[in-house]
Structures are given as C-alpha cells and as structure tokens.
Amino acid sequence: MVDPDLELVDATGRGDQEAFEALVVKYQGPLLNFIARYTGDRFIAEDITQEVFIRIYRAAPRFQPRTKVSTWVFSIACNQALTEMDRRRRRRSLCEAVSRSRDGGYDETGVSPAERFELEEEIMSALGRLPDNQRAALLLRVNEELSYREIADVLGMTIESVESLLFRARTTLKRHLDRK
C-alpha cells in the first residue's frame, strides 16, 4: 500500500509550502502530545515540535521512502526531544552544582506545579522515571498505535527489543501505580 503522506513529503522537498502546511496540520497534534509526555514538560513541547517541523522541512528533499513517513517523523521527534532533554539535564546538573556550592550542600526538593491534577501528575512522574527508550516505545504504542515493526524503525532496534521494552515499561508502571 502506498503511504498517503509520501506525496506531501515529496512536494515539500520541491519547496511546495502548501504541502508542508498539510504535513504540519496532520502531525502537529500527535507530535506535540508525544513530545510533551516524552519530555514530561508541556511548556517546552511546542518549541521542540516547531524545531522538529523545521528539521522535517530541511530534510524533505533527501527523504528516502524506505520507511513510512510517520516513522520518519517520529524518529526526528525522538532525536530532537532526546537532544533537548540531554541539554536540560546538563543545565540542571550544572545549576544544582552551583546551588550546592552556594548553599553549602543544601539540596532543595522540587515542588510539583499546583495546577496539575494528582493522577495525571502520578502518571507523568511514573512515565518520567522510565528509561528514555521504554517511555518512547510505550507512548508510540499506546498513543500513536504504531506496530512493533514501526516502533523498531523509529528507535532503531529489533522487534524483539521493542517487545521487551514494552513489557518492562508496563510492568514498572503497573508496580508503581499499585503502590499508590
């Protein structure tokens, strides 16, 4: 079966802005929600989503239709979100080091944002504690309904690894939510 988005990417690669806009409209919602849950920060998700689309626009002329457009789009999103998370972790650890040196070892604990609902907060926190690849696999499966083959393409691993990641992710979340 021909991927219906292939034409859009092809036209985007030739500089067709309308085709690019159609691509943005189709993927902006799923990407924003995936990135917000993957990074655990809804406030930076929109900026990352925008960056993902800029990368898609630039990479469109070189797109090789070996994989589905959706898996290509989510691969870019995963990489971009991971890069941003690494950057934030480095910045956070630097800030913590500065804070510790200023406060003489005092370790300030984070306060949860008041506007978050309790359950949502618990799930988001449990999701955040999963290893990056388990969280990505779970979100791609549960929210985007990607097959194991597609998830394997996005994350660059085997189908067996995806099966194992999903099993471990669900078991960890189940155990965590059981304790609540």
Partner 1 sequence: MKCSQIRRKLSAFMDGELDGGTSRLIEKHIDTCPGCREYLHEFREVDDLVHGLPKIELSLDFTSRVVSEAVKTSNIASRKTVTFGSSLRILLARLSDAVFNLFEPGAPPSTRTLDELGDCPPLSMGYIYFKILDQSNGG
Residue 60 gets which letter from DSSP?
A: G
Return the residue of 4, 29, 65, 128 that touches partner 1, per CB under 8 A: 29
Asked whether the beta carbons of 38 and 139 are under 8 A apart, the reply is yes
Length of the chain: 180
Which is closer to partner 1, CB of 37 or CB of 68?
Answer: 37
The count of C-alpha atoms lying within 13 angstroms of the C-alpha of 31, restricted to the half-sphere facing its C-beta, is 28
Residue 82 or 168: the one with the smaller Cβ distance to partner 1 is 168
**What tokens does 16 get?**
């067709």
Binding pattern for the stretch 113-152 against partner 1, x by CB under 8 A and - elsewhere: ------xx--xx--x----------xx-xxx---xx----
Query: Min. distance of Cβ 103 from partner 1 in angstroms?
Result: 34
Angle at the Cα of 110 (from 107 to 111), degrees rounded to 5? 140
- Taking CB under 8 A as the rule, does residue 72 contact partner 1? no
CA dihedral 74, 76, 79, 83 (to 10 degrees): -120
Which amino acid, residue 61? Answer: P
Among 10, 16, 28, 44, binds partner 1 (CB under 8 A): 28
Residue 156, Ramachandran bin (φ over 0: left; ψ between -120 and 50: alpha; else beta): left
User: Binding to partner 1 by residue 6, rule CB under 8 A?
Assistant: no
Under the binding rule (CB under 8 A), the answer on residue 167 touching partner 1 is yes
Q: Is 58 or 88 the residue whose CB approaches partner 1 more closely? A: 58
Task: Give the residue among 59, 51, 58 at the shortest CA–CA distance from 77.
Answer: 51
Chain positions contacting partner 1, by CB under 8 A: 17, 20-21, 24-25, 28-29, 32-33, 36-37, 42, 45-46, 49-50, 53-54, 56-58, 119-120, 123-124, 127, 138-139, 141-143, 147-148, 159, 163, 166-167, 170, 173-174, 177-178
